[in-house]
Chains A and B, each alone.
Chain A
Amino acid sequence: MFDKKRLDEAISTTLYDLTHLEINTIIKDEMTASKAPASPRLLLHNLAGKYDLKLVTLGDKYAQYFGSPTADGANLFRGKREKEGSGYDSFKELSERSKDARMLLKTLKPGGDFPKDTVDADMMMLQRIETISGDIRRILVMDGVDPVKNDPVKSAQFNFDEKETIEKFRTMTSRDADEYELNLDLRQLLVIKKANDIGTEKVVLQTVIGIDGDVTTRISKAFAEQPVAFINEMHRDAIGISVEFWKSLINVVVNLGTHIIDLVNPKR
């Protein structure tokens, strides 16, 4: 009746979410006027596009060092695009290509146009693409998430690893689109939304707070060398609000305790 593995995973991830807060301060290159799509399928397609573009940009950057791997001049990191959509196989391809790119970058001797800091930052970015793509694949294979996966009729008509399918989905009426939309729970949707929000932007400060009292702050090397007081203050304010949000829930318990004591011992 219950899928034990899934239940275990759900419990452990929920417990992690309940007991941890994460605050990120990010420097973005530009602000797009358009809103992120509401549809999870289109969100995933946005994200796949960002990862694809980043692999191409990084591939072009390092091509002057490594050269092109193929005679037809395919991009060094992105290679030949087999999947241009945003289904399971598309993210598998992105994950594998970023892993290969990271392995290749490991062989580069830093110096000249490629100082160690730059190479390290790019390797971290490739690691992010690999990890998040893996997380998304894990969500996509979960039972009940993708209505197309186990339906032979739907999967014959819709292959979300193809760009054309995404375009077709984009222009469908909401009633028709709902039949092919991903069925995500709140946590899965948050994972995808957050991945799309952060995309391939530079995270300069990240703080993770655990209920057990552990606080971890990661600072990008470039920012640590030249910190800006304003950004530090912004990050501190954000931590304050996040902790306050959590604290307000704990206050419920304190107030409740006070009420109970008053209830059983009114003369206190």
Chain B
Amino acid sequence: MINNYSQAFRAYKELLQTGCIQSTVEGEKVFIDIRGNVSGDILVFIVPKDKIATNGEDIMKMISSDNNLNQLRNAAFESLKQKFKGITMLPERLVWLVNICILLFYAFWKFDVILALFAGEVGLAGIFSLSPLLILTVITPFLSKFFGFNLLKPILSVIIRLVKFVRLIRNRKVA
């Protein structure tokens, strides 16, 4: 559990510092640089180590003749996967918590109707009164992605303000 949270912390730290999560490996002849952002988009960069390859064809030859690349590729993707896992952890926990609170409240409020429905006394009014449960379940995939990341905004904002405050004290140059 602690390991998971420390992984999440490291992923968020990287996200704040660079705006993305990144995994880079160095082969004999090429670099592989993989970057992911919070919306799940991924950029895979393949870069020659020396700028001797001036056109795409030469780079393709370099890739084909680099013996370590397959192993390194697995390592790079595994590292990125762990970071993504860390990033999803917090929204998952938050949305889960928010939804469970809403649903518990609703289930408590409409407990009689739920019991009646499960006892087989199906009525239109009962189904209507339970529709919020259904709607919430349907829209949760959207909520997870939207609210999940938006719920992070205040946390990120506090951290950014803290960083700015420290910089302000140190009066560092921008570049």
| Pairs A–B under 8 Å by Cβ, sample size 28 | A27-B47, A29-B48, A29-B51, A29-B53, A29-B54, A31-B45, A37-B175, A173-B174, A174-B174, A186-B38, A186-B149, A190-B39, A201-B45, A231-B63, A237-B77, A238-B42, A241-B36, A245-B88, A246-B40, A248-B88, A249-B91, A249-B141, A249-B148, A253-B137, A256-B137, A257-B137, A260-B103, A263-B104
A-side contacts of B104, CB under 8 Å: 263
A20 CB, min distance to chain B CBs, angstroms:
9
Please measure, in the bound complex, the distance between the C-alpha atom of A235 and the C-alpha atom of B171, giving whole angstroms. Answer: 43
- B174 and A252 contacting across the interface, CB-CB below 8 Å: no
| Distance A31 CA – B168 CA, assembled complex (angstroms) | 32
CA distance in complex: A257, B144 (Å): 14
Which A residues contact B (CB, under 8 angstroms)?
Answer: 14, 17-18, 21-31, 35-39, 42, 169-175, 177-178, 186, 189-190, 193-194, 197-198, 201-202, 204, 211, 222-223, 226, 228, 230-231, 233-235, 237-238, 241-242, 244-246, 248-250, 252-253, 255-257, 259-260, 263-265
Picked from B45, B60, B103, B140, the residue with its CB within 8 Å of the CB of A228 is B60
Q: What distance in Å separates the Cβ of A196 from its nearest Cβ neighbour in chain B?
A: 10
From A30, A226, A259, B47 is in contact (CB under 8 Å) with A30
Contact with A along B34-73 (1 / 0, CB 8 A): 1111111111111111010110110110011000011001
Size of the chain B interface, CB-CB below 8 angstroms: 71
Q: A193-B20, A250-B144 are in contact. List 16 more A-B contacts (CB 8 A).
A: A23-B43, A31-B45, A171-B173, A173-B172, A174-B171, A174-B172, A177-B174, A190-B19, A237-B73, A238-B34, A238-B44, A238-B77, A242-B41, A249-B92, A253-B141, A256-B103
Q: How far is the CA of A178 from the CA of B173 in the complex (A)?
A: 12
Q: In the complex, what residues of A have CB within 8 A of residue B38's CB?
A: 186, 190
Q: Do B149 and A175 have beta carbons less than 8 Å apart?
A: no
Q: Is B118 in contact with A264, judged by CB distance below 8 angstroms? A: yes
Q: Once bound together, how far apart are the Cα atoms of A199 and B148, in whole Å?
A: 30
Residue B109 is within 8 A (CB to CB) of chain A in the complex: no
CB neighbours (8 Å) of B141 from chain A are 211, 249-250, 253
Q: Given the complex of chains A and B, what is the CA–CA distance between A28 and B31 in angstroms? A: 10
The one of B48, B69, B173 in contact with A173, judged by C-beta atoms closer than 8 angstroms, is B173
B83-138 interface (Cβ within 8 A of A):
84-85, 88, 91-92, 95-96, 99-100, 103-104, 107, 114, 118, 133, 137
